[in-house]
A and B are shown apart, each in its own frame.
Chain A
């Protein structure tokens, strides 16, 4: 298996632009998680899905952030409009109901100028 796939790996954009991060979970996994990692705040859970349904989005910072999972093999995290404080590494992880272990993707490093 190829593991969790995230794209792009690096994104540099200007303040006010829309940013879309993409994730393909491991086939057969039924949980998908979006995290943000910064030096100041560490690893933060933004939202997670079970069987494509959002279960907990309490970590989504504000209305500028939105996440979707249209099917079991694809999810997006969108920031519109982006701000410099959104600069971080964003990780996607997936898990199977029976094993609890989360498998992480390589992350997307976002820089908002």
Chain B
């Protein structure tokens, strides 16, 4: 079955430190890949997405992600974390099968930022 794994349930980093959030997916072909962020009490917002081409994609708020086909991974990175980055981060996969728009979601990683 298709699945998305975010191995880290909760991560705490210090402000200014670098960040990497992991995402692995289980799917035969290369799907469409997404990272969304959810601030407390709010809906989800797209950070970035990968469909094809350059495997390093840039997103909003200084985030980037790298697609590694051999590892079935799509890890999210930020070189210097700000206190406002504290939120829940979700990795999602769209199987890229015709008009099927159903996203497969990871369970999320909660990010806390120490001052």
Given contacts A42-B105, A42-B107, A100-B94, contact A91 B43 (CB under 8 A): yes
Q: At the interface, yes or no: A105 with Cβ under 8 Å from chain B? A: yes
CB-CB under 8 A from B102, the residues of chain A are 45, 48, 56
Taking a contact as CB atoms closer than 8 A, the residue among B32, B36, B103, B108 that contacts A42 in the complex is B108
| Pick from B44, B49, B107, B108: contact of A100, CB under 8 Å | B49
Q: Which of B97-112 contact A (CB under 8 A)?
A: 99-103, 105-108
Classify chain A: how many residues form its interface, as a range.
Answer: 20 to 34
Specify which of B34, B45, B90, B102 lies most central, judged by the most chain A CB atoms within 10 Å of its CB.
B102
B101 interface neighbour in A48, A91, A106, Cβ under 8 Å: A48
CA–CA, A42 and B51, complex, Å = 25
A50 within 8 A of B: yes
Q: B90 touching A106 by the CB < 8 A rule?
A: no
The residues in B between 53 and 69 inclusive whose CB is less than 8 angstroms from any CB of A are none
Is B46 engaged at the interface, CB distance under 8 Å to the other chain? Answer: yes
- Give the interface size class of chain B: 20 to 34
Q: Is A107 an interface residue (CB 8 A)?
A: yes
Contacts of B106 in A (CB 8 A): 42
A70 to chain B, nearest CB (A): 21
Query: Is B42 part of the contact surface with A, judged by Cβ < 8 Å?
Result: yes
Q: Known pairs A42-B107, A93-B44, A95-B101. 17 more at Cβ < 8 A?
A: A33-B101, A42-B105, A42-B106, A43-B44, A43-B108, A45-B103, A48-B101, A55-B99, A55-B101, A91-B44, A100-B94, A102-B44, A102-B46, A102-B103, A104-B36, A106-B42, A107-B43
Q: Which 7 A-B pairs have the closest CB atoms?
A: A104-B43, A104-B44, A42-B107, A43-B105, A101-B46, A106-B43, A105-B43
